[in-house]
A and B are shown apart, each in its own frame.
Chain A
Amino acid sequence: MNKKIYILFVVSILTSSLFGQFVGKDNLSISLFYMQKAELDSAKKYIDFSADDESLNTAAKTWYYRGFIYKELYKKNEKEDKTSPFRLTSIESFQKMLTLEGEEEFRESAHKILKYQASTLYNDAARLLDPENYQTAISNYDKFKSTMLLIDPKTDLRARDIKFKLALASMLNRPAETAEGLDSVQTQQIKSLYIEVLALDPNNPGANYNLAILFYNEAADIINNMDYDMDIMKLNEVQDHCIEIFLEGLPYMKKAYELNYKRRETLVGLSNIYYGLNDIEKSDAYKKELEDLEKE
C-alpha cells in the first residue's frame, strides 16, 4: 500500500513539474520548447494553436516557426510523399509570414527553406512525368513556380517552363510511337504545350519541329482513315480540312529548317508537307536537297 502511494506521489510530482514549466507561457513558446526537443508532433500541436490564437497569429515569428516545424515534419514523415500536405502547409506558412510586419528578421532563413522546398517540388514533378501521374506533376510544377516567385517575384522561370513543357509533351506523345496512336484530345493537349513553349521561345527548334509533325500526322491520319466509298462532295470537304492542317504545320517545319534543326528530318518533313499540299515541285526540291545531303 505504501509503495503504491509512493509511486503516485512521484508521478504527481513529475507531471506537475512538466506542466509547471509552461505556466504563464504562450502556445508559441511551448511549441518552440517541443521543437528544440525534436518532439515535432507536440510542436505541431502548439504551433497550430498559435496560428489560431489572435494574440499570436499576426506575428511573423509564429508563421516562420510554423513553416519551419512543418518543413521538419515533411522531412521526417513525408519525404517520399510527392503530394505531401506538410510541405504545402510549410510553404503556406512562409507565404503568410512574408506578408506580416517584422518578417525581415526571418526572411533570409525562410527564403532558404522555400528554395529547398521548391527544389523538392521540381524534382517530384520530374519524377511524376508518366501517364498515370502527370496531373500531379503539373500541380507540383505549378507549386514549384509559385514558391520560387515567393522568394523573388522577378525570378525568370522561362527556361524551366520550356524544359518542363517539352518533357511533358514528349511523355504525352509516347502513344504516338505505338500502334495505339494519339487520339484527338491528346493531340490537342500536346499541340497546346508546344504552342505555349513557342510563346516563350519562338525559336525553340524542338517545339517547332514536333508541332509541325503533329499537324502533319493529324492530316495523314485523316487521309489514311478515309473510306474509298466517300462521295466527292465529302472528299472535297476532307481535302479542304487536310490542306488547312498541312498549311498550319508548314511554318513550324520551315522554322525548324531555318534553325538548322535535325536537317535530315526537317527536309523529309518539308518534302512530305508539300506533297500533302500537292505542291510536287517544292516537295521534289526538298527531296533533292535531302539526297544531296546524304551524298555528302
Chain B
Amino acid sequence: MLFLSSGFKTPGVDGNSKMKAIFIMNFTKLIEWPKAYRDGNFVVGVVGESPLYSELTKMAKTKKVANQSLQIKKFGSSKDIGKCHILYVSRNKSEDIPSVLKKVKSNSTLIITEKQGLVDKGAGINFIIKNNRQKFELNKKNVEKYKLKVSSNLEALAFTVK
C-alpha cells in the first residue's frame, strides 16, 4: 500500500492581508469622506512594500466603494504620495510617518499604519495583533482632523479608541 502525503494549499494571498483588506473595505463604509471625495475613483495608496498591495488590487477587481471604482496605488516613498482616500503605510515605512503627514495634511485622507504606537503619532487607524487576532486601534481625532466623519459603529468595533 502506498502512502502519499498531502500538500499545502497555496492560497493566492496570505490570510493576514486578506483580513486587513476586509477591514479596509469596512472602513470605507464606516467613515464618511467630504462631498468632493465622492466622485471619481476611490483611491487607496500603499506606501512601501507590503503583501497587502496585491490583496487590495485583487479586491479592487470586484468591489466598489458605493458607486466609486477602487483604485490601488503603490508609492515607493512619502515624496511620491498623491491624493488618496486611504493611505496605508507599511511597517517598513513606519519611520516616514512625519513626512507622510506633511504630504497629506491638506487632503481628506485616512492614514492607516501597522506599528505599535503610531496611532499616537498621527495615524487614524493602526492595525495591531491581540491574542493572535488582527485588530485595530482608532484615534478619532487623527481621523477627524482630515474632515472625515467616524461612525459610532466603527468606534464600537475598535480595540481601543483614543
Contact = CB atoms under 8 A, between A and B. Distances in A.
B1 A223 contact: no
A213 B8 contact: yes
B14 interface: yes
A235 B5 contact: no
Given A233-B157, A235-B19, A278-B16, A269 B132 contact: no
B18 A223 contact: yes
Contacts of B4: 170, 173
Contacts of B7: 176-177, 213
Interface stretch (A88-96, A107-115, A239-247): A239-247
Interface string A270-288: 0010011111000000000
Interface stretch (A24-32, A43-51, A75-83, A161-169): A161-169
Interface in B9-25: 9, 11-16, 18-19, 21-23, 25
A262 B5 contact: yes
Contacts of B26: 231-232, 235
Contact of A278 (B5, B9, B13, B129): B129
A230 B29 CA distance: 11
B11 to A, nearest CB: 5
A223 B157 contact: no
B8 A243 contact: no
Interface stretch (A13-21, A34-42, A57-65, A214-222): A214-222
B62 interface: yes
Given A163-B1, A220-B15, A173 B6 contact: yes
A229 interface: yes
Contacts of A221: 9
A126 interface: yes
Contacts of B2: 167, 170
Given A240-B133, A278-B134, A230 B3 contact: no
What is the predominant secondary structure among interface residues of chain A facing chain B? Answer: helix
Contact of B23 (A209, A213, A219, A232): A232
- Looking at chain A, what size class is its interface with the partner chain? 35 or more
B63 interface: yes
Nearest to B63: A228
Nearest to B14: A275
B59 interface: yes
A240 B62 CA distance: 26
Contacts of B134: 239, 278
B1 A210 contact: no
A226 B107 CA distance: 32
B101 to A, nearest CB: 26
Contacts of B129: 278
Given A223-B19, A233-B157, A278-B16, 16 more contacts: A163-B1, A167-B1, A170-B3, A173-B4, A173-B6, A177-B6, A177-B7, A214-B6, A217-B8, A217-B9, A223-B18, A228-B25, A228-B59, A230-B22, A239-B19, A239-B133
30 contacts: A129-B1, A164-B1, A167-B2, A167-B3, A170-B3, A170-B4, A176-B7, A177-B7, A206-B5, A209-B5, A213-B5, A213-B8, A214-B6, A216-B8, A216-B9, A217-B6, A219-B15, A220-B9, A220-B15, A223-B19, A229-B63, A233-B157, A235-B22, A235-B23, A236-B133, A239-B134, A247-B132, A262-B5, A272-B8, A278-B133
A-B interface, 8 closest residue pairs, ranked by CB to CB distance from nearest:
A167-B1, A223-B15, A278-B129, A217-B9, A232-B157, A170-B4, A277-B132, A166-B3
Interface of B: 1-9, 11-16, 18-19, 21-23, 25-26, 59, 62-63, 129, 131-134, 157
Interface of A: 126, 129, 163-164, 166-167, 170, 173, 176-177, 206, 209-210, 213-214, 216-217, 219-221, 223-224, 226-233, 235-236, 239-240, 242-243, 246-247, 262, 265, 268-269, 272, 275-279
